[in-house]
Amino acid sequence: MESKRNVSVIQDIDGNNIVIINDIRFKGKRSIDWKDVREYLKEYVGAFYTIAVTGDVVYIGSDLPKEYSGSNYTNSLKGTNAKAKANATTGIPEMIEIAVGKHFRENRENKHKRDAKNGWYRYDSRFALPVYDDIGELERYNVFHASMLVRHSNDGKLYLYDVIDIKKETSNPLSE
């Protein structure tokens, strides 16, 4: 089902998990081709992953590729954060598995009455992407925080809906 992925989970000095994503699938100096991201995400549809700290099972539904690649949040991204969101797709299974900080939110929008009848959960996750120098040598990893938006569907299941609020952590880039 999934393409070969080069992803691992490590812990920072405080014991918090970080998903290390070593394959940079979506490169380029210009903008991200979100259609390519959408196509890649379709490989996950039908899969499910368990959040280690809560035991919650999170499914990947057919709505994820379109929402992840075409949400208002995604459309607002530029530069580093756009590349981070595009390349985070490779680590989605592990980002779900290490998620922490489960937080419930009521459903507030009419358009979600059907697909998120039981509200929303947000989880925090972290991932890191490699940064290379001019000659292609690994210089460091940039660490990012992300909120995983999960809808609680009327079928009682949890579905990953989007990954939002991606922020680069300035305090601790990981050195090689």
Task: Report which secondary-structure segment, H or E, holds 58.
Answer: strand 57-59
What is the spatial distance between Cα 44 and Cα 64, in angstroms, rounded to a whole number?
9
Poorest-pLDDT segment among 7-11, 17-21, 46-50, 105-109: 105-109
Q: Show the tokens assigned to 52.
A: 């280690």
pLDDT for the residue numbered 108: 74
**If pLDDT is split at 50, 70 and 90, which confidence band does 11 have?**
very high
Handedness of CA 167, 143, 3, 116 (dihedral sign): negative
pLDDT tier at 114 (50, 70, 90 boundaries)? low
The pLDDT of 13-33, averaged and rounded, is 89
pTM, two decimals, is 0.91
- The pLDDT mean for the chain works out to 91
Contact 17, 9 (CB under 8 A): yes
User: The tokens of 7 are what?
Assistant: 């992803």
Q: How many whole angstroms separate alpha carbon 89 and alpha carbon 43? A: 11
User: Is 28 a residue whose pLDDT tops 90?
Assistant: no
pLDDT digits (tens, 9 = 90+) for 37-87: 999 999 999 999 999 999 999 999 999 999 999 999 999 999 899 999 999
Q: Is the pLDDT of residue 142 over 60?
A: yes
Q: How much of the chain, in percent, has pLDDT values that exceed 70?
A: 92
- Residue 18: half-sphere exposure toward Cβ, Cα within 13 Å: 23
- What does the buried/exposed string (b/e) look like for 79-96 if buried means 16 or more CB atoms within 10 Å of the residue's CB? eebbbbbbbbbbbbbbbb
Q: Alpha helices, DSSP H only, in 11-140?
A: 34-41, 64-70, 72-76, 79-88, 92-97
Between 117 and 42, the more confident residue is: 42
Q: Is the pLDDT of residue 110 over 90?
A: no
pLDDT band at 154 (very low <50, low <70, confident <90, very high): confident
Query: What's the average model confidence in pLDDT over 127-138?
Result: 92
As a whole number of angstroms, the distance between CA 96 and CA 175 comes to 24
Q: What local confidence, expressed as pLDDT, does residue 111 receive? A: 66
Pairing of strands 17-21, 120-132: parallel
